[in-house]
Amino acid sequence: MSSPGEGLAEVAVLGLLSPVVAGTTGERLTSDRSVVAAMVRAEASLVRALVRAGVAPVSAEPAAAAIADAEVDVRDLAERAVEGGNPVIPLVKVLRAAAAEESAGWVHYGATSQDILDTALMLVAGDVVRRIEAGLTRLAATLARMADEHRSLPMVARTLTQQAMPTTLGMRIAGWLAGVHDAVRSVRSCVPLPVSLGGAVGTNAAYGEHGPAVVEAFAAELDLAAPVSPWHTRRTPVIDLAGALTLAGESCGKIAADVLVTAQTEIGEVREGTGGASSVMAHKANPTQSMLVVAAARELPPLASIVSAAGAPEQERPAGAWHSEWQPLRTMLRLSAGAAERTAGLVEGLRFDPDAIARNLDHLLAALGEDPGWVVAQTEHVGLWIDRVLAQHSEVFR
């Protein structure tokens, strides 16, 4: 693929306003270039699938290699997408021109634009989901160690922003860990994501009786799942994916939100390994990583609502509903992957202050007129719950 068109720097989004994403693997995997590469891969795989299923002759197969090597100007493709409403239409023209004349007709044969773009987004999403799971796995391993290490360290539990009753640091961390377990299970349930191949109106009319075989071969070529039927207007895969991405981000956001509160100067129970600088107050060490993760977690639910709103489209192919998914879904992939990656690093660098934890607990004891023995009585059972979470950890990652 060639370099983007001239003038791209004037309009490029380079992560300036989304530092939680900037420089992450998720950002790279969801770039416009990566989406175009996935579309090209889908088109090449379709040609091979047509040959495997007996729809296209063997002589058509070299077209797959030819279009895989085609040079595509991403910016030019984006500008030309305006006319037809999606980037697949101009892409097909480029790819057919790259194929030999006698096999060019098999490029995009029997497919529609939605098939290729949906499949490409599933390819991109699959790559990102694997990175999210890797980030959550790294995070969970750290939390499991910390929950066990601090299982008996008493501290103040807070409800409705106020000191409430005693808990232990290990119990709090075990709660974080259980949330990450939920997210890992949800993310895993999404993969493998399905290919999309239904043709103009979801009947695969061009393939006739070979339709199911073509879909199976197409899925096998891309290492994706073969759907039971075309899903142009059955958006379950995308809606489920959006839900998993939201849960992953919010499991990280919960951890970061707790750090933000307990890192406040007046509480001081924890600090990030490297504090962020202030532009005007040199004495501050801001919990910057936690702040970025919380921001990502808050962005995800409204984006998921846009994806969900596209889940009741009209007739066999919708106008506008499908189109509204693209950017929110891509942003969700970036935010969730960024949150998982940042939170894994954040937790590894956390520094707890036992003196501050003890000092705050003394305030609670003074307010209640209790002694340290009462704290032991209130927290002696929490190890049972920590053990349950750690046992679940072994099941999730066995």
Residue 317: active-site member: yes
Taking the CA atoms of residue 97, residue 98, residue 103 and residue 107 in that order, the dihedral angle to the nearest 10 degrees is -80
Which sign does the torsion angle of CA 19, 22, 26, 29 carry? positive
Residue 278: active-site member: yes
Cβ atoms of 346 and 289 within 8 Å: the answer is yes
Q: Which of 138, 234, 317, 359 is flagged as catalytic? A: 317
> What's the one-letter identity of residue 43?
E
Which residues neighbour 379 within 8 Å (Cβ) at sequence distance 6 or greater?
Answer: 152, 154, 166, 167, 168, 171
Distance CA 226, CA 121 (A): 15
Q: Alpha-carbon Rg of the chain, whole angstroms?
A: 26
Helix axes 32-52, 88-98, angle to 10 degrees: 60
Which residues neighbour 243 within 8 Å (Cβ) at sequence distance 6 or greater?
Answer: 186, 304
Determine the longest span between alpha carbons in the chain, in angstroms. 89
Q: Which residue is listed with tokens 């937790």?
A: 347
Which residues pair with residue 158 across a beta bridge? 163
Q: Which residue is listed with tokens 């987004």?
A: 121
Which residues neighbour 358 within 8 Å (Cβ) at sequence distance 6 or greater?
Answer: none
Cβ atoms of 26 and 128 within 8 Å: the answer is yes
Q: Which residue is listed with tokens 């790259």?
A: 98
Distance CA 248, CA 299 (A): 12
Distance CA 64, CA 52 (A): 12
Distance CA 168, CA 157 (A): 8
Taking the CA atoms of residue 287, residue 292, residue 294 and residue 296 in that order, the dihedral angle to the nearest 10 degrees is -170
CB atoms within 10 A of CB 289: 24
Q: Which of 185, 278, 305, 388 is flagged as catalytic? A: 278
Catalytic residues: 278, 317
